[in-house]
A and B are shown apart, each in its own frame.
Chain A
Amino acid sequence: MAVRRYRKSATALTTADVGALRTAFGKMQALHDDRGFEYWAGIHGLPLPISCVHGTPFFLPWHRAYLYYFEQHLLDAASAPAPHPTIAASQVSLPWWDWSTQAGIPAAYEGDSTNPLAGAPVTGIPAAQFTGQNIPQADRTSRRPGPTGAGHGPKGLPTAGQVAGLLKLSDFEDFSTQLEDLHNQVHMWVGGTMSEIPVAAFDPLFWAHHAMIDRIWALWQLAHPGAGVGTLPHEHPLGPFPTLTVGQVLSVTGLGYDYAAATSSGSPHG
C-alpha cells in the first residue's frame, strides 16, 4: 500500500516543511499553464466560468475534489526539476489553518512578496471580465484581517466551541450548512482578496483555510460513521474534476491523505 500524505497543522510545520511548501507554491505560481497556480486559483472564480459550488450540499464534496487536484499539482511542482532545486514531494502537503485558536494568520503565511504563501499575483483574468460592475481588478492579493483573540463575537474568528458544536450535528445537510457559514465568516475575517468569491483562491491562505474545512468534515465523518452525505447522489460528477464523483471523495484515505494532529513513525528493528 502506498504511503499516505498527512496534512499537518500550519502551526506545526517544521522549518523544512515550510521551506518545501514555499518552494512548491513558488514554482506553481511561476507556471502559467494548466499546471500552474493561476489556473487552479481561477477555477474557483475568475476567469469565467466561476466553477465553485456554494450554498448547496455539494459545497463540501466539490471543495474536497478541488483541493485534491490542487494538491496533486503542488506535488508535481515540488518534485519538478530545475530551475528550482529539487525537493522531496513527500515532504509537501496542504497544511490546515486552525483559525478556531483565535491566533490569526499562521506565521508561515505572513511576510512580504518574497514569501509565496503570503500572497500571489492575480493573473490570467481577461481585463474585460472586470466590468466596473464587479470587484475591482488588482495585480496582487491583499488581506485586511479582523481582530484576533477571544471575545470579538461575529467580528472575530469562529471559536473552538462553535466547531465542537458542529461536530455534534448528526445530519449531513445540517452540518454542511452550518460549516459553510463558519467558512464564510473566515473568508470575511481575512478580508481583501479572500472576501469575494471571484478571486479568493488566489490568496495562498485560501488553501489552508479550505484544508481546515475539509478536516472538520473528515472529523465529522469519523464521529458519525455511516452518516453519509444525505440525499446527494454518489455518482454525481464534481466538475471540472473529471475523475471524481461525490462517492469518490467520501474517504480522505481513499484519496491518499489524512489529517493528523500528531504523527510518530519509526522503523521496526529486531
Chain B
Amino acid sequence: MADALMVTLTCPAEPYIRADLEFHGVDHAKASFEGRLFINNATAGPDTATDDANGYAGSFWIFGHGGCAGAEGHCEPPQERRAFDFRPAHQLIPVSKRVIVTARLRALVAAGAEFTVRIVPVVRPEHAQALPVNLVTDLLQVERVDLLTYQ
C-alpha cells in the first residue's frame, strides 16, 4: 500500500466564501483509489474515522488506468510534445483534482494559521488483494497542493 503524503499550508484571512484544496500532478496510472484528506492529523491512515474529531476534510477519487496493457514505454507520457503533433494528449498525463473544503477549513483552522493536510490513499482491501502488488505500491504521487480561497 502506498504511503500517505503531507503538506503544510497557511489559512488565509477571512472573509472567504469558498475554499478549495487543489492537487496538481496526480498520477492515475495504477489502481483506483480515494485520496482521503485530514487536516492537522499527522498520523491519519486508511482506518482513521472520517469524522470531525480526526480532522477529516473530504476526499478525491482517482479512477485508475489499471496498469500498462502494452509493451515497454507504452504508458510513459512524452516529456514534451513535438511540433505539428495533433494527436490527442497521452492518456497518462497527470491530472489535477479539486476538493471544496470551505466549511471544514473554517471549522478546523484559524485565519492566518499554518496547518497540515495529510493525504491518505485508500484502496478497498478486497480490491487491492485482487490486483498485482505493483498497482497498489507508491500509488499516491502529487506534485503540488494549492489552497485557493474566494471572496
**B131 and A135: CB pair below 8 A?**
yes
One digit per residue, 1 when the CB lies within 8 angstroms of any chain B CB and 0 when it does not, for chain A 172-202 equals: 0010011001011101100110011111100
B98 contact from A144, A178, A188, Cβ within 8 A: A178
Determine whether the beta carbon of B97 is less than 8 Å from that of A181. Answer: yes
Whether B124 contacts A198 by the Cβ 8 Å rule is no
A140 to B90, CA, bound (A): 29
Q: Give me the interface of B with A, judged by CB distance under 8 Å.
A: 28, 31-34, 36, 50, 56, 59-70, 88-89, 91, 95-100, 122, 124, 126-127, 130-132, 134-135
Question: Is A160 an interface residue, CB under 8 A from the partner?
Answer: no
A-B CB contact pairs (8 Å), 13 listed: A133-B67, A133-B68, A134-B67, A135-B131, A135-B135, A153-B50, A184-B63, A187-B61, A187-B63, A188-B34, A195-B32, A197-B64, A198-B65
Check A191/B127 contact, CB under 8 A, given A134-B68, A154-B34: yes
B62 engages A184 (CB within 8 Å): yes
Given contacts A135-B67, A144-B124, 16 further A-B contacts (CB under 8 A): A48-B70, A129-B70, A130-B69, A133-B68, A133-B134, A136-B131, A136-B132, A144-B126, A177-B97, A181-B97, A184-B63, A195-B32, A197-B65, A197-B66, A198-B66, A199-B66
Q: How far is it, in angstroms, between the C-alpha of A173 and the C-alpha of B96 when the chains are bound? A: 12
CB of A119 to closest CB in B, whole Å: 16
> Given the interface contacts A144-B124, A181-B97, does A196 sit within 8 Å of B32 by beta carbon?
yes
For the A-B complex, the count of residue pairs with Cβ-Cβ distances under 8 Å equals 105
Q: Residues of A contacting B32 with CB < 8 Å?
A: 184, 187-188, 195-197
Q: Is the CB of A48 within 8 A of B64?
A: no
What secondary structure prevails in chain A residues at the interface with B?
A: loop
Whether the Cβ atoms of B69 and A46 lie closer than 8 Å is yes
* Interface contact B98-A177, CB-CB below 8 Å: yes
Q: How far is the CB of B114 from chain A (nearest CB, A)?
A: 26
- Those 4 A-B pairs whose CB atoms lie nearest each other, nearest first: A134-B67, A184-B61, A55-B95, A196-B66
As a 0/1 sequence over residues 118 to 138 of chain A, the CB contacts with chain B under 8 angstroms (1 = contact) are 000000000001111111100
A146 to B125, CA, bound (A): 12
Which A102-131 residues have C-beta < 8 A from chain B? 129-131
The complex places the Cα of A156 from the Cα of B89 at a distance, in Å, of 33
* In the complex, A239 has a CB within 8 A of chain B: yes
| Residue in chain A with minimal CB distance to B34 | A154
Contact mask A32-58 → B, CB, 8 Å, 1/0? 000000000000011010100011100
Complex: A174 Cα to B100 Cα, angstroms: 10
Most interface-central of B63, B65, B96, B131 (chain A CB within 10 A): B63
Shortest CB distance A21–B (Å): 26
For B100, the closest partner residue in chain A by CB is A178
- Verify A191–B69 contact, CB threshold 8 A: no
> Which of A50, A146, A178, A192 is close to B65, meaning CB atoms less than 8 Å apart?
A50
Distance between Cα atoms of A184 and B31 in the complex (Å): 12
A195 to chain B, nearest CB (A): 5
Closest residue of chain B to A55 (Cβ to Cβ) is B95
Given known A144-B127, A181-B97, A195-B32, contact A132–B66 (CB-CB < 8 A): no
A136, A183, A184: most-surrounded residue (chain B CB, <10 A): A184
B56 to chain A, nearest CB (A): 8
Contact of B126 with A181 in the complex, beta carbons under 8 Å: no
Tell me the nearest residue of chain A to B134, going by C-beta: A133
Closest partner residue, chain B, to A54 (CB atom): B63
In contact, B59 and A136 (Cβ under 8 angstroms): no
Residues of chain B within 8 A of A196, CB atoms compared: 31-32, 63-66
Query: Bound state CA distance, A200 and B50, in angstroms?
Result: 27
- Complex CA distance for A146 and B69, rounded to whole angstroms: 28
B135 x A134 contact (CB < 8 A): yes
Distance A184 CA – B134 CA, assembled complex (angstroms): 21
